[in-house]
Amino acid sequence: MFDTPDHVVALLAVGRLGATVVPIDFRSNRDLKKQLCGAFGVELMLVSRKTKNAAVEELVFESAAGCGEGLPCEPRDPDAPYLINFSSGSTGLPKPVYMSQQQLFYRAMTWWTNIGITPDLVYLSALPLAYSFGRNYLMFSLIAGHTVVMHDPLFREEELVEFINQQDITLAMFPATIHRRLLSVAGADNLLLPNLRKLISGAAALHPHEKIEIVEKINPNLYEIYGHNGAGLMSILPPSAVRERSATVGVTTSLSEVQIVDDDGNVLPAGSVGRIRSRGPQVAPDKPELAGSSVWPWCFTGEMGVLDDEGYMQLRDREDDMIVTGGFKVFPLEVEQELLQTSGVVEVAVVGLPSQRDGQDVAAFVVSEDKVDVRDLRKTCREKLPAYKVPSRFFFLDSLPRSAASKVLRRELVENVSKYREVESAE
């Protein structure tokens, strides 16, 4: 379905009927839709308009038509699977987690209590509803009694800014990519979105200097949240800590028990880098029969991180993204943060490319607004990083490949490296 009020009504209606929602982006190609329908037993697809050669039976959903008489509307078992959240997935089918209505409520409760949500807020919904970041938080706002104002997810930065300010929006949330787009049109003298009481960033971590820039140019009420499809909201960096703790994603939330562990599941001491795991009543399992289990399983996020003595968490990277070069471990995020300090660099992604000598080469894929000298990039890194972390290869491109959920497709960079322009310079 399109990103419209009908889509929201359909989500609520399916839950009221006692069925399970399998969210499929209407922008997806027919083959993917067919695969998802087959893999998850879809029997009926609610659509905004019918398509040719549909994978399963389609029903055009129009909330204005009202409820049909005689439809079974039995109270839903709060522990049965209600909503399937998908990871963005870079290969094969997206990975599912099965969330019950009870778990959805616990996630909403975590959101309300840790952000300080009040019913008088006006929430902007301007993200695709087929993905959990746009869909779940809209539902949390409805449950909290907010007024929800919807906007098409395709927009120009200037148009969105005008819309937010004219509609008196007080609560907005965007992924890091949109915050960067907003920064590109922000001035130095006046706040871009002065009326927001809460501005949320999530889905991917902002770099420390970006957080400072946002509170100075867009709105000072910035909350950065860190979560996971399976675990829900795990940590929050509030406005009061943005400047002093900009390198972190905040402290862990109520209802979430978060640990840093080694490969054997042993809890590591503060300051140690390890695997992030979380458990609590809001954790959704990857098997439908466990959706309402009273035994809270540990959810491993697939990311590496560190907790300090005060409970602030800092992300290192995804386990799969870690680079091993010459026997040394390199976390791409650390290198990316240094490269972004170079004048003219807009975006950067660091990956490991196959190397006969070292196993992997540290490679940087750079998006710049002006011509950037590779020697300056290397110099920036050498000032803060050991030699083995300094990229040995540099590629320049117009934009980084991203999924529909705005996550950088690192695997695509590796697999299609020959398509990108590599720039060399004398050491």
| In a shared domain, residues 223 and 369 | no
Kindly state whether residue 125 falls inside one of the protein's structural domains.
yes
Q: Distance between CA 294 and CA 218 in Å, rounded?
A: 43
Task: Give the span between the Cα atoms of 86 and 138, in whole angstroms.
Answer: 17
The residue written with tokens 């005008």 in the block is: 162
pLDDT digit string (tens) for 290-305? 555 555 778 888 888 9
The CA distances from residue 23 to 15, 48, 57, 313, in Å, are 13, 13, 15, 31
Residue 338: Cβ-neighbour burial (10 angstroms; 0-12, 13-18, 19+)? buried
Q: For the chain, what is the domain count?
A: 3
- Same domain, yes or no: 109 and 72: no
In a domain, 87, yes or no: no
Q: Which domain holds residue 45?
A: 5-76
- The per-residue pLDDT of the chain, averaged, comes to 85
CA separation for the pair 132, 175 (Å, rounded):
12
Task: List, for residues 377-404, the tens digit of each pLDDT value.
Answer: 999 999 888 888 999 999 999 988 887 6
Is 90 a member of any domain? no
Tell me the per-residue pLDDT of 154-180, one tens digit each, with 9 for 90 and over: 888 999 999 999 999 999 999 888 898
How is 270-318 classified by DSSP, letter by letter? TT--EEEEEESTTPPPSSGGGTT-SS---EEEEEEEEE-TTSBEEEEEE
Q: Is 283 contained in some domain?
A: yes
Instruction: Tell me the pLDDT tens digit for each residue of 96-154.
Output: 888 888 888 888 888 888 888 888 999 999 988 888 888 888 998 988 889 999 999 88
Same domain for 41 and 161:
no
* Dihedral angle of Cα 109, 113, 115, 119, to the nearest 10 degrees: 80
Looking at the structure, tell me whether residues 302 and 217 fall in a common domain.
yes
Neighbours of 271 (CB within 10 A): 11
Helices vs strands, H then E, count in the chain: 10, 21
Same domain, 310 and 379: no
- Domain contains 19: yes
Q: In whole angstroms, give the CA distance from residue 154 to residue 150.
A: 12
Domain termination site, one of 317, 350, 384: 317
Whether residue 346 sits in one domain with residue 413 = yes
pLDDT at 91: 45
Within-domain flag for 91: no
What residue has token string 């839709």?
A: 33
For the domain that residue 137 is a member of, what is the CATH number?
A: 3.40.50.12780
Higher pLDDT, 276 or 359: 276
- C-alpha 166/C-alpha 239 separation (Å) is 24
- Asked whether 193 and 183 are in contact (CB, 8 A), the reply is no
For residues 160 and 282, membership in a common domain is answered with yes
